[in-house]
Amino acid sequence: MTQFKDRDFQQHASIFPFLKRLFGYTKKYKKFLISFVIFVLLTAAAESVLPIVWMKLIDNAIVPLVNNFLQSNGNIVPDYSELWKYVTIYFIIGCSVAAFVFVFIYCAGRIQEFVMYDIRQDLFKKLQKLSFSFYDNSAVGWLMSRITSDSQKVTELISWSLIEAVWGLGMIFFCTVVMFAFNWKLALVVISIIPVLFLLSGKIRKLILKYSRESRRYNSEITASFNENISGIEVNKSMVQENRASSDFKTLSEKMRYSSFWSECYTALYTPIIIFGGSVGAALVIYFGGKMTLGINPEITLGTLAAFFGYATLIFEPVLDISRFYAQAQGCLSAGERIFSIVDMDVTVKDKNNSTDFIDIKGDIEFKNVSFYYEKNKPVIENMNFNVKAGQSIALVGETGGGKSTIINLVSRFYEPVEGKILIDGQDYMNKTINSLRKRLGIVLQTPHLFSGSVRDNIKYGNENATEEDIINALKFIGIEEYINRLDEEVGEGGENLSMGEKQLISFARAVLANPAIFIMDEATSSIDTLTEAKIQTGINEIIKNRTSFIIAHRLSTIKRCDRILVVKKGKIIEDGSHKELMIKKGYYYSLYTRQLREQREKEILEHN
């Protein structure tokens, strides 16, 4: 089994397949992606042209006039028309940049939200299909972060980070083109600096990555330490270990500080160093460019020099942006891997081809040489055989981990037998659809789970089409008419507004509303007050009457009332019979019953005094 709790997704995968797959999600939004790229490139183009306008302005509107002015010793009235012309061009380009920016932010935003929506949709749908064995091995919190944070992270990569990358590439490209158009020698000078910047950038990024990973790891250790020492505060206080815990924490927080410092420090170094690299280029421009402007036939104009100087001091920016994209892509790699590992997960329990619906289930169930295991040498259920007639109620008893829950999970087809067959009404359920079976099951789980909403919503969960009358009948059926007045009550997140017993009663009503052919219950052991317990008992009695039922029972009264008791131990049935039969046998069941009866009586007196 894959352990999803602690599995570390190492960065072994290459970045390109990941990006390819991620971009696959944008296929549906081609329109946005294409206009996004086009407008980012247009922005870059416009921004790379601006220095040229500035240069032309100096060269054509300023310098000649100033020269004339100086030569005429200030005796001519300057002509502003050229100046206005260039400023208008400058302003128009500026406005188009603003317009382009609007389009690409609009598109990028749409790509982000649409793709995030799609990824979350994919993940959630997959999670609904995955089988119990997957959930047995995955922590809810772990899965949650896939849907919430990881999906956000990767979509930010293909929207906002992508803007930077495309802009950076466009900027480098257009600047290069423009510079070559004006003077290829000086262009080479500026461009020669770019690879050096990338090299530097890569080196520093690596260091940042190393320390930021380290600090993230320590950060989760710090959270864990807070969690542990707050949850365990009673232990710390009663053993007077507060100071030791604090000093242990100090060691940890010092490690965190160290790696966090270096990661932030390299981040802080990063930009100034790259800018300095750009400055080297600018200095070269002053030298070579300055030379070119001199002489009788100057190779370039003053404006060109100013423009090249501008390019040289700006070229670091696209370099930063491109390498930031690369770094972010790397950072998202593991998030992407985790997402796709879920999306690609095999659904183990699913309908086979050509499977047909159960028409009506009577409730005969037969286990034929059924074995179930994850690893062959550790069978959970071993070669189990039994036959249940429609209408019979079965109590499953035995130690925790003996295989009781596995049996009911097999009946419900949450697990499927690895070997052997399970027949329902004489038909192998593997040839039938899962939905047609589950629709006829009524299941009450050990910890009753409710969903946010009203009591009514939760009961209707068992049958969406139920009328108000059906709901009232269901409540009456299990003897809790008083809930009729509470139907509009909000149960809160996970049913937190209700007590355990109330939740259990509602989950009974929910199961009854489905009018199941087969009733399955994992009885709760948690402490419930007497009144509720008595009510639950009546509820159970009503439900199991004339209905095939499997009950993992803890309450002796429930066990006794079942038609048949299966004692399960280490994946095998060791005793099988009615309460009376097994009592006479004086075997495992007898001693279990005796011990539990005594404890139950003791508890009764202690609790009900």
Q: Is 46 exposed, middle or buried (0-12, 13-18, 19+ CB in 10 A)?
A: buried
Distance CA 212, CA 216 (A): 6
Distance of closest approach, residue 33 Cβ to another protein, in angstroms? 15
Distance of closest approach, residue 368 Cβ to another protein, in angstroms? 19
- Closer residue to another protein (CB): 18 or 403: 403
53, 89 contact by CB (below 8 A): yes
Distance CA 490, CA 326 (A): 48
Distance of closest approach, residue 314 Cβ to another protein, in angstroms? 10
Distance CA 408, CA 549 (A): 10
Report the relative pairing of strands 393-397 and 564-569 from DSSP bridges. parallel
- Per the document, the length of the chain is 609
Distance CA 179, CA 194 (A): 14
Rounded to whole angstroms, what are the CA distances from 427 to 163, 349, 354, 434? 59, 18, 14, 13
- Closer residue to another protein (CB): 54 or 326: 54
Rounded to whole angstroms, what are the CA distances from 31 to 22, 48, 163, 351? 17, 26, 16, 38
- Closer residue to another protein (CB): 287 or 482: 287
3-state secondary structure of 223: helix
- Closer residue to another protein (CB): 385 or 594: 594
- Closer residue to another protein (CB): 399 or 468: 399
339, 124 contact by CB (below 8 A): no
- Closer residue to another protein (CB): 13 or 302: 302
- Closer residue to another protein (CB): 398 or 462: 462
Report the relative pairing of strands 518-522 and 441-444 from DSSP bridges. parallel
Distance of closest approach, residue 35 Cβ to another protein, in angstroms? 13
Please give the full DSSP string across 160-179, using - where no structure is assigned.
IIHHHHHHHHHHHHHHHHHH
Distance of closest approach, residue 411 Cβ to another protein, in angstroms? 11
534, 377 contact by CB (below 8 A): no
Radius of gyration of the chain (CA): 37
Distance of closest approach, residue 242 Cβ to another protein, in angstroms? 4
Distance CA 417, CA 365 (A): 14
Distance CA 148, CA 381 (A): 37
Both tokens assigned to 472: 């009232």
- Closer residue to another protein (CB): 180 or 249: 249
Distance of closest approach, residue 389 Cβ to another protein, in angstroms? 11
Distance of closest approach, residue 30 Cβ to another protein, in angstroms? 18
- Closer residue to another protein (CB): 340 or 414: 414
- Closer residue to another protein (CB): 188 or 233: 233
Tokens 């932010």, located at residue: 105
Distance of closest approach, residue 509 Cβ to another protein, in angstroms? 13
Both tokens assigned to 210: 């190393």
Distance of closest approach, residue 598 Cβ to another protein, in angstroms? 5
